[in-house]
Chains A and B, each alone.
Chain A
Amino acid sequence: MRRDIITSAIGIIVLTILLGLAYPLLVTGVSQVAFPGNANGQQVHVAGKLVGSKIIGQAFADPKMKNGKVVEEKGAVVTEPDPRYFQTRPSATEGGADNAAASTFSNLGPNSKATEEAIAEHIKGYLELEGPYNPGLSAARVPVDAANSSGSGLDPEISQANARIQARRVASVRHLSLVTVDGLISKYTSDRGIGFSGEPGVNVLELNLAIDRLTGATR
């Protein structure tokens, strides 16, 4: 008994130093040297300014204005999608969409009225935004990724089907040819993992920045 207590006490301290300090420091140190870009979150800079992480979704939205004032709800600024940009997936993160300091699931159940309402609202928003540029677009043709919240709430990608629908709006608003925009979509579509696993996805941040570069848009 006594022996076990002494060994346990020493053991937990020694192992905490080895596994809790030495191990994370070793891994983080090696990573910082070997893969500094990845280890620091694949930060994207434009003109020297940090505009996001390549693999973290962000809201391409503007503050909603009413009578020249920013609308606030529960202390958070209400935003609406910026039609010049491709939009990321619906996000249920706390404190507003795409909050990368508090990732959250929507936790909406399969048989809940609340789920139906949330999906219906996403569909409505999508149709309002894309409908004018996609004649004949109906709820039945909305890709699921545009109507369902992502898991992390920070999904950096959208489906190709979703991107092709949004391309018509972006091309029209930005005065670009649809062929050009579609070409960029293909360029920023990631393949499946090892050729067969997962789904291809379009990286929204990279795509939007490419379009900005093409049109010479400045913020």
Chain B
Amino acid sequence: MTFLGWLTIVLFAVILTALAIPFGSYLANVYTGKRVFLTPIFAAPERFLYKVLRVDPHREQDWKAYAKSLIIFSLAGWLLLYVILRTQDGFYVPHSLNPLGFESAPWNVTFNTVSSFTTNTNWQYYSGETTMSYLSQMIGLTVQNWLSAGVGIVVAVALIRGIVGRTGKSLGNFWQDLVRTILYVLAPLSVLIAIVLVSQGVIANFSNYLTVHTVTGLTQSIAMGPVASQEAIKMLGTNGGGFFNTNSAHPFENPTAFTNFFEMLVVLLIPAALVFAYGRMTGNRRQGYAIYATMMVMFLGAAAVAYIAEAHGSPAQHAAGLHTHVLAGSSGGNLEGKEQRFGIAGSALFDVVTTVTSCGAVNSAIESFTGIGGAVPFANLSASEVIFGGVGTGLYSILLYVLLAVFIGGLMVGRTPEWLGKKLEAREIKLAGLGILITPLAALLATALATASHAGRVSISKAAIGPQGFSETFYAYLSQANNNGSAFAGYTGFIQPNAGNVGSHGVTFADLLGGFVMVFARFAPILFALAVAGALAGKRVTPAGLGTMRTDNPTFVVLLIGVIILVGALTFFPALLLGPVVQGLTSHLY
């Protein structure tokens, strides 16, 4: 460990907070229909889009109508993406946008990929540069990077409206929220971020793969493509699906230590800002601060553990006789699967940033992390993506936990629980409870199925013997259920002996189970969150009395952290013990 390593982590938290507070105010203004500085530019395109889509933005929707629009729109996106990916080598694809003539992936892999990108998961059984045409990456995957992010954000906004709403059952209008999210939030930032990335070395072109005659006279083929545009929204929308197989470890996606730091900020910007927006929209900024504090405490804890564990090095390194302490001119630590330019701190922090959120991008191989370092992403996923979480998903998920914490707190002091002046009753608690438990349920059930069946075990990589094999399986379904998308990447659902898709095939069991898990664990919690919003929307607000439990002070922060850890620990401890914990406690090699 080094001083600069710790400084990176601390400065990251400080800079993130400094950016997120003003951006949160901006978001609150956008979603309450106030004028913002971009209104003069985007008001006309906004009206134009409403006209083209034939929607009346002023038509209020209750939770059922809002949910219906959301589900149907997501389904339309799913179908179109499936068609695009299955006709990758179709007649309409110009050669320059599929220069290597890649065929379509088999149906089962495509099912998984489509489910993955439409649910903001971006789990990737395929490898980008050996299977995806430029056109598929653009009109297929990039588009869903935007839309799945937008869908996540609008659910959070609708839930906030339900919480603060004082009249009627309205949660706003899905189409208006989606269009505003794209125009006022994602579009200006994506373009800006993409240009910054290119200025640092991320590529953006439609060239054929380069053929290089290396210095010693060998031949090297270098993959190209329109990377920057996808990279920007991949990070901003907490999507995480890499253009290339090795994601943000690839120098063309993440060329320098600066871009590494920058990309991490981009990932957390919207999730962090939404928390402050929530505070503003409830009319009490301290509500936002309390949730932010909860998230930040858990985030910094995770980053510290990951950094210490990775700097210590792995049992395999020590057994091979390698010394892993910091030397002059060498980072030391567990550098297996990590890039020199990011070092240990830059890799550990990136890993935490992308697993607390639903981003799931990686700049190093999580499978090669030490037992305890690898337990950190496990723990982050076990906390159900509420530590910042995905864009929107993080906020609506932690708000369900807040509801649960208020309920438990109410039970402890023996009063009817109240939240922001609204009485919580059986219906809301039941819905929130289901919303919280459905993701862990899906993850554990799928892991059990995949571990117990032969069809599931064939996905485990050959080198992953003993607890590593279980970790791979468990992580795969935990990641897919939480719509994260990072992986212990040895776990396979797609086999491609030769580049170009010739003779490739999918592992049907892993592809389908994963696909169903992603869709179920994405949309079921969304429905529960919207139902909670609907249940809260019309409730009368009573002024806070002396006995009202406050949800904006440190006591509540402690209670909330306790509830999150309790739920995660009770659900996942037995499974975690079998994988990463065993590996972290032993120096035995398998």
Could you list which residues of chain A lie within 8 angstroms of chain B, going by C-beta atoms?
1, 3-16, 19-21, 23-24, 26-28, 30-32, 34-35, 38-43, 46, 49-53, 55-63, 77, 79, 82, 85, 89, 95, 98-117, 119-120, 123, 139-145, 147-164, 190, 192-194, 196-201, 205, 208-209, 212, 219
Contacts and interface: CB of A to CB of B under 8 A. Distances in A.
B76 interface: yes
B316 A116 contact: yes
Nearest to A200: B329
Interface in B230-269: 230, 232, 244-246, 249-252, 255-261
Contacts of A53: 210, 212, 222
B369 A110 contact: yes
Judged by DSSP, the binding face of A is mixed
A115 B314 contact: yes
B553 interface: no
Given A19-B146, A144-B330, 12 more contacts: A11-B76, A16-B143, A39-B198, A103-B244, A103-B246, A110-B316, A151-B362, A155-B341, A161-B328, A193-B259, A197-B4, A198-B257
Contacts of A115: 314, 316-317, 336, 368, 463, 589
B336 A148 contact: yes
Interface string B203-239: 1111101111111111011111010111010000000
Nearest to B242: A103
Contacts of A56: 220, 222, 251-252
Contacts of A110: 314-316, 334, 336, 368-371, 373-374, 583
B42 interface: no
Given A39-B198, A40-B205, A116-B589, A103 B250 contact: yes
Contacts, number: 438
A197 B220 contact: no
B215 A111 contact: no
Interface in B331-348: 331-343, 345-347
Interface stretch (B52-60, B86-94, B509-517): B52-60
Contacts of A42: 201
A35 B199 contact: yes
B221 A152 contact: no
A196 B11 contact: yes
6 contacts: A15-B182, A38-B203, A46-B215, A62-B218, A105-B368, A111-B315
Contacts of A40: 203, 205, 207, 224
Given A27-B195, A159-B331, A105 B367 contact: yes
A107 B463 contact: yes
Interface string B284-326: 0000000000000000000000000000011111011111100
A64 B169 CA distance: 75
Interface stretch (B28-36, B66-74, B386-394, B531-539): B66-74
Given A16-B139, A108-B368, A193-B257, A145 B215 contact: no
Nearest to A107: B490
Contact of B332 (A62, A141, A144): A144
Contacts of B244: 103, 152
B411 interface: no
A130 to B, nearest CB: 14
Contacts of B468: 109, 111-112
A150 B279 CA distance: 43
Contacts of B43: none
B197 to A, nearest CB: 9
B215 A205 contact: yes
A117 B336 CA distance: 13
Contacts of B245: 102-104
B205 A32 contact: yes
A145 B335 contact: yes
B287 to A, nearest CB: 33
B368 A106 contact: yes
Q: Pick the most buried of A7, A30, A205: most chain B CB atoms within 10 A of its CB.
A: A7
B542 interface: no
B330 A160 contact: yes
A14 B194 CA distance: 22
B175 interface: yes
B251 A154 contact: yes
Contacts of B541: none
B204 A147 contact: no
Given A109-B367, A219-B217, A4 B142 contact: no
Nearest to A10: B53
Given A28-B226, A198-B346, A105 B7 contact: no
B96 interface: no
A45 to B, nearest CB: 10
A39 B252 CA distance: 9
A109 B315 CA distance: 10
Contact of B246 (A104, A109, A113, A199): A104
B455 interface: no
B544 interface: no
Interface in B505-561: none
A77 B127 CA distance: 23
Nearest to A121: B320
A194 B257 CA distance: 8
B421 interface: no
B351 to A, nearest CB: 11
A38 B202 contact: yes
Contacts of A209: 215
A167 to B, nearest CB: 11
Contacts of B258: 193-194, 197-198
Q: Pick the most buried of A6, A108, A197: most chain B CB atoms within 10 A of its CB.
A: A197
A141 B329 CA distance: 12
B335 A144 contact: yes
Nearest to A62: B216
B22 interface: no
Given A53-B212, A56-B222, A151-B249, A31 B73 contact: no
Contact of A192 (B4, B205, B222): B4
Contacts of A219: 215-217
Contact of B80 (A12, A152, A205): A12
Contact of B320 (A119, A154, A196): A119
A3 B65 CA distance: 11
A38 B468 CA distance: 39
B140 interface: yes
A4 B320 contact: no
Given A27-B228, A112-B468, A145-B330, A6 B590 contact: no
Contacts of A30: 195
A104 B461 CA distance: 14
Contacts of B589: 111-113, 115-116
A62 B330 CA distance: 28
B75 interface: yes
A112 B339 contact: no
A106 B260 CA distance: 21
A153 B222 CA distance: 13
A32 B204 contact: yes
A13 to B, nearest CB: 8
